[in-house]
């Protein structure tokens, strides 16, 4: 059954609103749409101008999912799209028509497609749809079991100081999964992947018992992998305030440095959609960097 609604003057047909997409938590599609609608004021500025990749879960988080970069043929005309080259595409495409989420109707449209996770690159497009230089630097901190996000927070503090010495101010968020990420505004002083790799290698050299800078699984148990490669222009990172497809509707959540410094248990930094709505109401957008 489809429910016609009007969102900021745009007509949408919402479907399967009672469908439970997080079975263990009983979280429905209606609640997902509600979350994205209410978080939109702080989420949309972080999506603006950034080509969107989504992970869609039409049968919920326990069912099959798929990544989607190309905006579907049935995408409404009012959704902004940009055509960008995709060298090395696995589907032999020369270009992809990406959606760019810049308003509430587009966000609701994707939530209705069960696009639980929103992923974006570290660069934006201009008004004409041309790619701009990267404006963000990101470090993805991935714990190798038995390490957890607790160990990630220690590495995050090391990274914060290293970046500070370079004149860069880091802001933290959870991945909404097992790890966390650090972001900083990027001034294009050099190629961002090369810069991030060098910094990751430096920390791995200085703290070999805690940090690795290479992806090899055999090197990672009990350590934190600093994934610098997400600065590659072809890669994306989960957006702040995006839901994650876990057992619970966890969210990639901006943090205060005090929360990072005081973390003693992995559960200290687990936040669900209702938690994040309450945090934003109380604290505003902790990820705003300007």
Tens digits of per-residue pLDDT, 8-38? 999 999 999 999 999 999 999 999 999 999 9
Helix (H, G, I), strand (E, B) or coil at 136: strand
Q: Note the CATH number of domain 2-121+236-248.
A: 3.90.920.10
Domain coordinates of the chain in residue numbers?
2-121+236-248, 134-231
DSSP states of 226-271: EE-GGGSTT--EEPTT-B--SSS-BB--B--HHHHHH--SGGGG--
Tens digits of per-residue pLDDT, 91-123? 667 899 999 999 999 999 999 999 999 999 999
C-alpha to C-alpha distance for 16 and 9, rounded to whole angstroms: 22
Q: Pick out the chain residues at pLDDT < 70.
A: 87-92, 290
Cis amide bond preceding 85, omega within 30: no
pTM for the model: 0.96
Q: Note the CATH number of domain 134-231.
A: 3.30.70.3300
């Amino acid at each position: 059954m489809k429910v016609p609604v009007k969102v900021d003057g745009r007509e949408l047909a919402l479907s399967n609103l009672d469908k439970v997409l997080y079975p263990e938590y009983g979280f429905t599609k209606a609640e997902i749409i509600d979350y994205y609608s209410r978080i939109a004021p702080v989420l949309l500025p972080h999506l603006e101008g950034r080509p969107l990749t989504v992970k869609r879960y039409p049968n919920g988080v326990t069912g099959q999912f798929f990544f989607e970069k190309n905006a579907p043929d049935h995408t409404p005309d009012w959704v902004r799209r940009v055509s960008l080259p995709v060298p090395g595409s696995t589907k032999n495409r020369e270009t992809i028509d990406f959606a760019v989420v810049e308003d509430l109707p587009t966000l609701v449209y994707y939530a209705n497609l069960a696009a639980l996770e929103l992923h974006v690159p570290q660069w934006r497009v201009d008004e004409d749809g041309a790619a701009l230089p990267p404006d963000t630097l990101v470090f993805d901190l991935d714990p190798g079991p038995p390490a957890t996000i607790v160990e990630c927070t220690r590495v995050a503090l090391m990274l914060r100081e290293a970046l500070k010495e370079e004149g860069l101010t880091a802001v933290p968020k959870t991945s909404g999964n097992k790890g966390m990420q650090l972001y900083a505004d990027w001034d294009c002083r050099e190629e961002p992947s090369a810069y991030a790799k060098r910094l990751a290698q430096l920390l791995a050299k200085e703290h070999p018992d805690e940090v690795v800078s290479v992806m090899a699984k055999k090197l990672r148990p009990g350590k934190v992998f600093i994934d610098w490669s997400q600065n590659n222009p072809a890669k994306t990172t989960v957006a702040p305030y995006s839901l994650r497809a876990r057992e619970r509707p966890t969210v990639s959540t901006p943090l205060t440095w005090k929360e990072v410094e005081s973390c003693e248990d992995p559960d200290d930094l687990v936040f669900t959609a209702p938690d994040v709505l309450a945090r934003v109401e109380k604290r505003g957008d902790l990820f705003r960097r300007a």
